[in-house]
Amino acid sequence: MNIAFFSTKKYDQDFFDSTNTDFNHQLTFFETGLNEHTASLTKDFNAVCVFVNDDLNAATIDLLAKNGIQLIALRCAGFNNVDLKAAAEKNIKVVRVPAYSPQAVAEHAVALILTLNRKTHKAYNRVRENNFSLEKLTGFNLYGKTVGVIGTGIIGQCFAKIMLGFGCKVLAYDIKPNEELKSSGVEYVELEKLLKASDIISLHCPLNEHTHHLIDGNAFEKMKDGAMLINTGRGALIDTSAVVEALKSEKLGYLGIDVYEQESGLFFNDLSETVNKDDDFLRLMSFPNVLITGHQGFFTKEALEQIAQVTLQNLTDFENGAALENEVKA
């Protein structure tokens, strides 16, 4: 198949070119994102491969259909950026990578917790300046703390098991409780109870109409004073304005995020020589108890290899008329 890849970096090209030796597709890489303004680039291709910040709304999909695109291949698990109904109406199939080293994202969430708690990022900078003071570096033991996990899909399961290993009490909220986790000691509770009881809350649920701004002003009011909030899922799970207010009032004690509500055009780019005009993001960066990483939770060698392998297999299955194991439908 002749495939147009959008929002690509050098590491995408390296891993996909290496893996494609087993598939022999024709791959063309564009650094630009895919949206209704760049959809003209898809002419003469059979399929497109897109990432988390590409905007496949109804207008974009209409243009893809006019250019003869038959398949949208997401090289990620989330699909909230694709209008599935519009794709179905245009008879364009949508596939994704449902799981690519879920341990990578779960471990990154734990890294955010440990860094925020023990302030290792601040200690690192101090020691480089020959400052060995321990003032204001006090942390807390994870052992015995209550950790709330919102969303216990594959990544949430991995995260919960890691926190059990730390000796934490783990509460979980999901519309479909996982029996294996329950047998491991995880207690499923209602969302309100999880918010009220947890010292640390980690978000691992998908973004949809039910979870958009799941953590809003009302949710913050229910949380423990000084609780820690971690988000490695999707940015819009958290209401940015509400989290800023929670930090200002000191209701929220710590915030660690690898995703951001308005990350499109910001994350995955080197903007070191530009002026950041996102006031909410700048406000978040001003808090000493906030740690932000640029959507790198997935970014391990194992995950990139799996993403390339599954994505190219999805494309081959479509080309051969085989069943699409990883198809996403409206």
pLDDT tens for 126-136 read: 999 999 999 99
Based on the residue annotation, tell me whether 108 is a catalytic residue of this protein: no
What CATH number does the domain located at 2-100+300-319 have?
3.40.50.720
Say yes or no to pLDDT of 101 above 90. Answer: no
Express each pLDDT in 196-206 by its tens digit. 999 999 999 99
The answer to whether the pTM exceeds 0.85 is yes
From the list 25, 108, 204, 295, the catalytic residue is 295
CA 223 to chain centroid, in Å, comes to: 23
141 burial level (CB within 10 Å; 0-12, 13-18, 19+) = exposed
Q: b vs e for 79-105, b when ≥16 Cβ sit within 10 Å of the residue's Cβ? A: bebbbbebbeebebbbbbbbebbbbbb
From the list 209, 234, 319, 327, the catalytic residue is 234
Q: In what order do the strands lie in the sheet with 290-292?
A: 187-188, 169-173, 146-150, 200-203, 227-231, 252-257, 290-292
Domains 2-100+300-319 and 102-292 equal at CATH topology level: yes
Please give the average per-residue pLDDT across 314-322, as a whole number: 98
Binning the chain into helix, strand and coil, the percentages to the nearest 5 are 40, 15, 45
Express each pLDDT in 248-297 by its tens digit. 999 999 999 999 999 988 999 899 999 999 999 999 999 999 999 999 99
What does the alpha-carbon distance between residue 149 and residue 191 come to, in Å, rounded to a whole number? 10
Q: What is the pLDDT of residue 68?
A: 97
What does the alpha-carbon distance between residue 113 and residue 107 come to, in Å, rounded to a whole number? 10
What does the alpha-carbon distance between residue 54 and residue 248 come to, in Å, rounded to a whole number? 32
C-alpha distances out from residue 104 to 10, 55, 149, 199, 326, Å: 20, 25, 16, 23, 20
Express each pLDDT in 43-96 by its tens digit. 999 999 999 999 999 999 999 999 999 999 999 988 999 999 999 999 999 999
3-state secondary structure of 109: helix
Express each pLDDT in 48-60 by its tens digit. 999 999 999 999 9
Q: What are the extents of the domains in the chain?
A: 2-100+300-319, 102-292
Q: Residues 6 or more apart from 330 whose CB is under 8 A from it?
A: 84, 85, 87, 88
CATH topology of domain 102-292: Rossmann fold (3.40.50)
